[in-house]
Structure 1
Amino acid sequence: MTKCLILGIDQPVAQLVAKQLNDVAVVGFSEVDETADFCGDARKAATYMEAVKGVDIIYSDFIGMDVDWKLEAVFTALRKQQQTVRTVMRSVAGIDQEVDGTLTYPGIIDIKEFLKQQRYGIKIVDEAEMPYTVLRPIIDDQSGSAQVQLINEGQPVPVKPVSAAAFAQVVVDEIQNGTHVNQSIAVVSK
């Protein structure tokens, strides 16, 4: 059976994803929830040494600041164990000024630094030389749609949010089917 490690298992989207992965063994990592399968300092490689063992796929639902440090720690642990996985990473739309309109990032004060960290996090995943998919959603549970549209990297992205549930379904599909391997895809509403 395929085994998936969900980073940030305490996040709402990660919870939705975990509930839908019926044919996948799911283990979770949290920085704060001590009831998760694994819990610890997300910026230290030693924290992940046990968590990544036997894992086929990693879904990173790390949101907020320091995603680059956290992903560097994960990939350091994987390198130390000479382990290869496929990664599905949640990032954000707007990292490359591809959005046609204004975006807000709730809870983020230094947007410039936040976007820089997102870009570096993606670079870490890309340069690990393991299969990956980066999903760059615009999520808004108040006005987000259940209908999704996927947009390839480099294309203009409209400010048309999807719901967290709709985005979670895209993540589940990517984990199960690996349709967009080695691609960065924006996720917005139709």
Structure 2
Amino acid sequence: MTRCLILGIDQPVAQLVAQQLTGLDVVGFSEVDKTADFYGDARKAATYMKAVKGVDVIYSDFIGMDVDWKLEAVFAALRQQQQSVRTVMRSVAGIDKEVTGPLTYPGITDVAEFLKQQRYGIKIVDEAEMPYTVLRPIIDAQKGVTPVQLINEGQPVPVKSVSDAAFAQVVVDEIQNGTHINQSIAVVGK
């Protein structure tokens, strides 16, 4: 049975993804919820040694600051165990100035540093030389719409938000089907 590790299992999207991944063995990692399958300091490789063991696919729903440190620790643990996985990473639209209008990042005070960390997190995933998919959503739980459109990297991205549930469905589809291997895809409303 395919085993999926969800990083940031305490996040709303991650919880929706976990609920929808039927037919997979799903385990979660949290840096705040001590009742998760795995818990610890998300910036230390030793924290992930047991969590990544036997995992086939990882979904990272780490949001906010320090995503680069957290992903570096995950991939250090994978390297130490000489283990290969497929990764689906949640990032954000706007990391390469591809968004066609103003975009805000709730809870982020230093946007320039936040975007730099997102870019570096993606670089870590890309340079691990394992299959990956980066999903760059514009999410607004209050105003987001359900119909989504997927936009390839390098194309202009309109500021049209999607709901948590709509984005979670895109994540589930990518975990189950691996349609966009080694690609970075914006996820926005239609």
TM interval, shorter chain, is over 0.9
Deviating above 6 A after TM superposition, structure 1's stretches of 4 or more consecutive aligned residues are none
Q: Encode CA deviations 1:56-100: one digit per residue, 9 max, x unaligned.
A: 000000000000000000000000000000000000000000000
One-letter amino acid matched to 2:139: I
One-letter amino acid matched to 1:132: Y
2:50 alignment partner, SS class = coil
Q: Which residue of 2 aligns with 1:158?
A: 158
2:51 alignment partner, SS class = coil
- Normalized against structure 2, the TM-score is what? 1.00
Q: Structure 1: which 5+ residue stretches go unaligned?
A: none
Hey, what's the Cα distance between the residues in 2 that align with 1:17 and 1:161?
18
* 1:109 is the counterpart of 2:109: yes
Hey, what's the Cα distance between the residues in 2 that align with 1:146 and 1:14?
17
Alignment of structure 1 residues 91-102 onto 2, 5 Å: 91-102=91-102
One-letter amino acid matched to 2:75: F
Structure 1 residue 28, shift from structure 2 partner: 0.2
Structure 1 residue 37, shift from structure 2 partner: 0.3
Q: Which residue of 2 aligns with 1:182?
A: 182
Alignment of structure 1 residues 25-174 onto 2, 5 Å: 25-174=25-174
Hey, what's the Cα distance between the residues in 1 that align with 2:65 and 2:42?
12
- Normalized against structure 1, the TM-score is what? 1.00
Hey, what's the Cα distance between the residues in 2 that align with 1:76 and 1:23?
28
1:78 alignment partner, SS class = helix
Hey, what's the Cα distance between the residues in 2 that align with 1:143 and 1:121?
28
Hey, what's the Cα distance between the residues in 2 that align with 1:24 and 1:8?
18
Identity percentage over the alignment?
85
Structure 1 residue 141, shift from structure 2 partner: 1.5
Q: Structure 2: which 5+ residue stretches go unaligned?
A: none
Q: Encode CA deviations 1:122-149: one digit per residue, 9 max, x unaligned.
A: 0000000000000000001111110000
One-letter amino acid matched to 1:112: A
Q: Which residue of 1 aligns with 2:10?
A: 10
Hey, what's the Cα distance between the residues in 2 that align with 1:164 and 1:32?
20
One-letter amino acid matched to 1:26: V
One-letter amino acid matched to 2:152: N
